[in-house]
Amino acid sequence: MSADTRRPTMKDVAALAGVSLSTVSRVVNGDPGRPDLARRIQDAIDLLGYERDHTASTLRRTDRASASIGLLVADVGNPFFAAVARGVEEIARERGSVTMVASSDEDPARERELATALAARRVDGLVVVPTDGSPGPARVPTVFVDRPPRYADADTVLTDNFGGAVAAVTHLRAHGHRRIGFLGDRSTLHTAAERLRGYLGSLPDPSPARTDLSSGRLDPSLVRTDLEGSAAAFDAACALLRGDDPPTALFTAQNLITTGAVRALRALGLQHRVALVGFDDLPLADALDPGLTVVAQQPVTLGRAAARLLFSRIDGDRAEPRTEVVPTTLVVRGSGEIAR
Amino acid sequence: MSADTRRPTMKDVAALAGVSLSTVSRVVNGDPGRPDLARRIQDAIDLLGYERDHTASTLRRTDRASASIGLLVADVGNPFFAAVARGVEEIARERGSVTMVASSDEDPARERELATALAARRVDGLVVVPTDGSPGPARVPTVFVDRPPRYADADTVLTDNFGGAVAAVTHLRAHGHRRIGFLGDRSTLHTAAERLRGYLGSLPDPSPARTDLSSGRLDPSLVRTDLEGSAAAFDAACALLRGDDPPTALFTAQNLITTGAVRALRALGLQHRVALVGFDDLPLADALDPGLTVVAQQPVTLGRAAARLLFSRIDGDRAEPRTEVVPTTLVVRGSGEIAR
DNA sequence: TTGTAGGCGTTATCAC
DNA sequence: GTGATAACGCCTACAA
C-alpha cells in the first residue's frame, strides 16, 4: 500500500468531508447545498489540493462539452497565423475553453490526420485554415478562416482580399501610375486569386495587363504569379524592372513577396523611383527608406470573429452558414506615394 | 427512439461485427487476434465511421496518458513565442501528442489559472515560459523555456543571452567602438538581465558604464534599462544620442527596442554614423539601409529542445533537473560594422 | 436537501 | 485466443 502521490479524487474529498460523492459533485458544480456541508467539503478540497478531472466530467455530463476547441493552421510559426491563433485563443479563454493548435504545413493529408486527432480528443469545435485539397468538415462544428473551404458551404471568415487589392491599385493610380506590376504567390490559393482579381478589376479597360484577359493570358511583363518565397519574388521583380517599358509601380500581393520586392528595388537603386504597395503589414515597414505603404490585414480580428462564430454554433445556432468579411486598412508610409 | 447522429461507440462496432466489446478494444489497440474477426471488426469500423474516444481511453488506461501537452507562453501572437510554439508542436506531433496553447500575457495570476485549466484537461506535461511571479511547477511534469523559473530547480531550456550579448559588444569593440550604449527592457526579466550582464562583462575595466558598477549604479548616459516597447526605446535612444559625449555605437537588447532605435537613428540622420547591433532577428532587417546586424536567436530550436526534454520526463527519465542552453548567431548585415 | 445507483466509452483482469 | 465483468472519475436521475 504505497503512499503514492495519486491525484485526489472526489471520492477522497467525500471521505474526508464525511459526505457522499454526489454531494461533493454538486458543490463542486456550484450547487450551494447545506452551508455547513459545503464548508466541510471546501475545506477537504483545499486540504487535499483536489482539482476536478475535466475529461472525466466531460464523459459523463449531458452536454458532453469538453471546453476545448481545435485550431488548424498552415503554420503557427508564421506571424500571420500566430496572430490569428491569438485572436481565437482570446475568445476561447473568455468562454473557459482551451485551444489545441496544430500546423498542417499546407498538406491535406496531414490536415485530415490532425483534424481526426483533435476530434478524437473530443474538441467542441474546430477553426480551420483549409489547405488546397481540404476535405469536407469533420463531424464537429467547424468554421473556416482566411480561406474558404473548397467543397462545402460552411461558416467562413475572410479578409477582404479583393477590396484590399483594389485599394492598393487605386492608390497607385491616384499617384499617376498606369503601368503597375503585380507579383503574387500560388494562384491556387484563394487569397492570391482574389488579390489578382482586385488588381485586374482596378485597371482601366484598355490596360496592357488586361489585353489578353479574355483569352485567359496575362501580360507577363506586368503580371507574375506563383512566386514561392521571397527569393523568387526578388528574381521576378528584377526581371520586371529590367524589362522594356518597365512598370512604374508594383503591387506585391503577399508578405514574403513584398520583402523580395523591397530587396530588388534596393538592389537596383530604384526604391525612390518606383512606387510599391504591399499586401499585409510587416514589422520595421516604417523604418525602411522610403517607409513601406501596405494594405494591412487584421489577423487577430479574423481569429476572434472565427472563434465567436464557432461558439455561436456550439451554443446551438442553427442558421444558414454565413461568411464574414474583415476589411483591410491602407497604411500610407511613403513607398506608395512616389509619383510617376 | 430517434435516429440521432450519435457518434458510434465500440459497443456499436461490437454489435455490428457480432463480437464482444473486449475483442473490438483489442483489435483497435493493435492486437491482431483471429484474422477473420479482425476483418469483420475493421469492416464494421469503416461502415460506421467509428473513431475511438481518446478521452475515455485515457481515463481507463493504466498509464493514463492523454497524448496531449500544454504550452504556456506570454503571447502566442508574438512571433518569437509563435516560433517556440512551432518547435514544441513539431516534436509533440512526432509523438502523436497535440499541443494546447495558452497566453499568460505576463500575468502570474492568469498563468496559474491557465496551468490549472490545462492540468484539469489531464495534459501529460507542460512547457512554460514563466512570468515574473511564476509559482512552482504544477503536479505535472514541467519544462521551462526562454526564462528560468524563479523559485525552483527545474528543467529549463534557455537562449545563451549572456554569450549573445558578449558577441554583440565584442563585435562593436572590434570595429573601434569604446562608448557603446545599452538599451534594454524590464530588468526583472531574466533575459534582459543576462544581456545587460553580457554587455557589462565585455567592457574594459575602466569603462564609463562600469565606473559605478561596484556601487550598483550605471552611467545613465550609456545604459538605459526598463524600456517598455519601441516608443520608449525611441525616446531613450534619442536622448542618448543627443547627450554630451554620445555613444558611437548601440547595443539594443530586444526586438521592439531595436525597432525603436532604428527609427531614432533614422530620425536623427545618424544611421550611417552610429553602429547598431540588436538582439533577436527581425523580418526586413536586411532590407534596411544599412542592413541590420543582429544576434539571432533560434526560437524553433528552443521549443524543440524543451519538448524533447519534457517527453523524456514523461517517459520516466528521473535524472536531476537539467538546463540546456541554445547558442545565438551573429548575423552581419552592415549596421554593426560601421567603424568609429 | 442528501444519498444511492447506474452509466458515459474505454481498458484490464479474469475465467473460459 | 475470446468474452463477461469490474473499474477509471465523474454526473444525474431517482429514491430517501
Q: Where in chain B is the domain with CATH 1.10.260.40?
A: 10-52
Please report, as a single letter, which amino acid is at residue B176.
G
User: Chain A contact for B54, CB < 8 A?
Assistant: yes
User: Chain B contact for A58, CB < 8 A?
Assistant: yes
**The architecture CATH gives domain A161-298+329-337:** 3-Layer(aba) Sandwich (3.40)
Q: In sequence order, which residues have a C-beta less than 8 Å from that of residue B265 and are 6 or more positions away?
A: B237, B241, B250, B271, B274, B276
**The architecture CATH gives domain A68-157+300-321:** 3-Layer(aba) Sandwich (3.40)
Q: Where in chain A is the domain with CATH 3.40.50.2300?
A: 68-157+300-321, 161-298+329-337
CA of A23 to C1' of C3 (A): 8
A10-52, what's its fold? Answer: 434 Repressor (Amino-terminal Domain) (1.10.260)
User: Chain B contact for A282, CB < 8 A?
Assistant: yes
CA B283 from centroid of its chain's CA atoms: 18
Please check whether residue B323 is in contact with residue B156, taking contact to mean a CB–CB distance below 8 angstroms: yes
> Does A283 contact B259 at a Cβ distance shorter than 8 Å?
yes
Residue nearest to nucleotide D8 (CA to C1'): B60
pLDDT tens, residue by residue, B146-166: 999 988 789 999 999 999 999
How would you write the pLDDT of chain A (340 residues) with one tens digit per residue? Answer: 333 478 999 999 999 999 999 999 999 999 988 999 999 999 999 999 999 999 999 999 999 999 999 999 999 999 999 999 999 999 999 999 999 999 999 999 999 999 999 999 999 999 999 998 777 667 899 999 999 998 878 999 999 999 999 999 999 999 999 999 999 999 999 999 999 999 999 888 777 776 666 566 678 889 999 999 999 999 999 999 999 999 999 999 998 999 999 999 999 999 999 999 999 999 899 889 899 999 999 999 999 999 999 999 999 999 999 999 999 999 999 999 999 8
> Does A77 contact B85 at a Cβ distance shorter than 8 Å?
yes
Predicted TM-score (pTM) of this structure:
0.95
Strands B180-183 and B68-73: unpaired
Q: Which nucleotide is nearest, taking the CA of residue B35 and each C1'?
A: D1
Q: Is the dihedral of CA A141, A144, A149, A153 positive or negative?
A: positive
Residue nearest to nucleotide C7 (CA to C1'): A60
HSE toward the beta carbon, residue A187, CA cutoff 13 A: 8
d(CA B228, CA B234): 10
Set of chain B residues whose Cβ sits within 8 Å of the Cβ of A7: 139
